[in-house]
Amino acid sequence: MSDLLHHLIDQLEAVYGGKRWIIATDVLAGARGTTHWLQQLGAEAVLCIASSRGAGPAPDEDFAPNPIVFNVAGQDMMSSVRLSAKLLADLPAEARARVDAFDPQRTARVIGTIFDDGRPVGDRRKYGARPQAWQDLEDKTVIDQVWDDIGVPREPCEVVAAHDFDALLAASARLDQGAGTVWAADQREGFHGGASYTRRVTNDAQARVVFDLFGPHAD
């Protein structure tokens, strides 16, 4: 192992070692890797809280026993993500009691998901959270102005009213360099991922499908 790697591991152990951690996530199976590394870095104990079990191996119960799993999920990926965020930010009384029993000194920190909005879980603060104001910049209708202001090159784009089909077609034609264009809805309903409101459009028929899909959900 190189000196640099030793140094980095020492730094991580100083942050994560000797402490109790709560992993709050949408899918329990997705916490297995994080739990493993917390153990390797000398964490004292881990409590996992998840909205659903998910597929694949769960975290090692010898190190993270008795996870709290609510077994709730939405109709699709984004509704599940939003449902999970709401649930974890406002735990039921029984789950809060479990958190207090795990962390009676109230010193544990919470590790959330990569799309977490930073709200506490069981009155325990998130570690490494991304504030909502940061996430708001990821809106495609906002971020390009940021890139322009700081001189970061980007692909050409236009912001067009979601209810104006002709304007959308015209913008797509102006931007198309021969491989079609990518249409993305705004974040009126919150951030979205997993291509829930992002589509490639290569012809008018596809454009109509995307227009009908995005119209009720974006401005």
Burial group, residue 119, by CB count within 10 angstroms (0-12, 13-18, 19+): middle
72 pLDDT band (50/70/90 cuts)? confident
**pLDDT of res. 115:** 80
Q: How high is the pLDDT of residue 111?
A: 95
Ranking 15-29, 44-58, 133-147 by mean pLDDT, the lowest is 133-147
Question: With a threshold of 0.85, does the pTM exceed it?
Answer: no
Over residues 66-85, mean pLDDT: 86
Q: Answer whether residue 87 shows pLDDT above 80.
A: yes
CA distance 162 to 135: 22
Instruction: Determine which helix (DSSP H) or strand (DSSP E) holds 198, and give its type and residue range.
Output: strand 198-201
Instruction: Please give the share of the chain, as a percent, with pLDDT higher than 70.
Output: 100
What would the pLDDT profile of 112-155 be if each residue is shown by its tens digit?
A: 988 888 899 999 999 988 777 887 887 888 888 899 999 999 99
The SS3 assignment for 184 reads: strand
pLDDT, greater one: 130 or 4: 4
